[in-house]
Amino acid sequence: MLVDIQYLDGDEQQSTNNWKGVFSISSYTQYFNVDTDVVLNRLISSLYPISGDFFSKIDANPDLYGLVWISTTLVFAIASLGNCATYLMHRRSDHSTSWTFDVSYLNVAACSIYGYVLIVPLAYYFLLQYLGSNASLIRFWCLWGYSLFIFILSSFLLVIPFEFLRWTIILLGGGASASFVALNLRSYINESEITIVVISAFVLQMGLAIFIKMWFFA
């Protein structure tokens, strides 16, 4: 399986690294052909942000399976667990009124998570192409997709109805996710004149973490 991916990577990945290939669906089909062991290894790597070697691990066969699976799982996790958190807070503070499940959480989660994980890497890809850097859209999507995994784990802990603990959890999780993106992006770009790109990526990732906390676990 990996042999097939490596064989195709040279020709088909090239099509996703030009302006026309970005909008061609057929350019991406090969990136869903990945082993479970490979995905698990990359999930574990995303929990160790300081290594900064994620791009070297995915260089031969970057995948989009992780992006789709992780973002979809996160959407349902924060929507459902966010409702659980509001229920627990409601039980603690107000017994006089009934609690109802907020379906809008799912809509907001889908729009925000899918929008973020697709548009942000795409924006950085075009920005770095404009700046003359050798950027890879597939690798960027792969990086940002796996960076969301820690938010799935964090969302289960955010159900705990103690505000200080929730903020501690989301800031630690957001910091780890932001560091994972920023450090790997820095090692991939390796150009000091666009350090602002790395800093902005860190800030955006922290912004996503705070958004998840404020909207779904307020």
Q: Which two tokens stand for residue 17?
A: 């690294």
Higher pLDDT among residues 90 and 9, named by residue: 90
CA–CA dist 202, 182 (Å, integer): 5
User: What is the share, in percent, of the chain residues with pLDDT greater than 70?
Assistant: 83
Which pLDDT score is estimated for 4? 41
Which pLDDT score is estimated for 94? 65
CA–CA dist 53, 136 (Å, integer): 16
CA–CA dist 214, 208 (Å, integer): 10
Which pLDDT score is estimated for 12? 41
Mean pLDDT (whole number) for 174-180 = 96
Q: What is the pLDDT of residues 127-150, one digit of tens each?
A: 888 887 788 889 999 999 999 999
How far is the CA of 160 from the CAs of 46, 55, 85, 100, in angstroms?
24, 35, 7, 19
Mean pLDDT (whole number) for 24-30 = 69
Which pLDDT score is estimated for 50? 85
Residue pair 75/109 in contact by the 8 Å Cβ criterion: yes
Mean pLDDT (whole number) for 76-83 = 94
Provide φ and ψ at 34, rounded to 5°: -140, 145
Dihedral-angle region of residue 52 (phi above 0 means left; psi in -120 to 50 means alpha; beta otherwise): left
Q: What is the pLDDT of residues 28-57, one digit of tens each?
A: 677 777 888 989 999 999 998 888 788 888
84-100: burial string, b at 16+ Cβ within 10 Å, e else = bbbbebeeeeeeeeeee
Is 136 exposed, middle or buried, given 0-12, 13-18 or 19+ CB atoms closer than 10 A?
Answer: buried
CA–CA dist 85, 11 (Å, integer): 48
Which pLDDT score is estimated for 133? 78
pTM for the full predicted model: 0.84
Which pLDDT score is estimated for 95? 64
CA angle 108, 111, 116 (to 5 degrees): 120
